[in-house]
Amino acid sequence: MTKDELTAWALANGWQMLGGHPSLTKPTAPKEAIVRLVLKATVANLEVKKPAGKWEKVGGESYAGIVPDEEDGLPRGLGFEKVPSITKLMQDNRDRMVFARFGG
């Protein structure tokens, strides 16, 4: 996957741009990112915010090594499997974005 493909995938799956990075937020604090993708020139890194407020790298891979999974669509190689309930968090973020469109 390329940087643009990864960004498009993230935005289509409930992620939003916060601080220049595709990010997922807490359901209770939708302006505070807790998971983000840091997309650099040649690599992408998955980072999780620790309770102390510091970002920790969970996984990373060059764009050439990132491939979408056939079953669930999550890009493989970034360490998504190390983040508990990432699919639930993505669903919560996607739902909030959809319902925000109706509430306006």
Instruction: Report residue 94 as tokens.
Output: 């996607």
Q: CA–CA distance from 38 to each of 5, 45, 104 (Å)?
A: 14, 5, 30
Q: What is the pLDDT of residue 96?
A: 86
Cα–Cα distance measured from residue 53 to residue 100, given in angstroms and rounded to the nearest whole number: 27
Q: What is the pLDDT of residues 22-77, one digit of tens each?
A: 999 988 888 899 999 999 999 999 999 999 999 999 999 999 999 988 877 789 99
Instruction: For residues 5-9, give the mean pLDDT.
Output: 94
Instruction: For residues 83-99, give the mean pLDDT.
Output: 88
* Cα 54 to the center of its chain, rounded Å: 17
* CB 60, CB 79: distance < 8 Å: yes
Task: Name the pTM for this structure.
Answer: 0.88
Q: What is the pLDDT of residue 43?
A: 97
The dihedral of CA 82, 87, 93, 97: what is its sign? positive
Q: What is the pLDDT of residue 92?
A: 92
User: Is the pLDDT assigned to residue 20 strictly greater than 80?
Assistant: yes
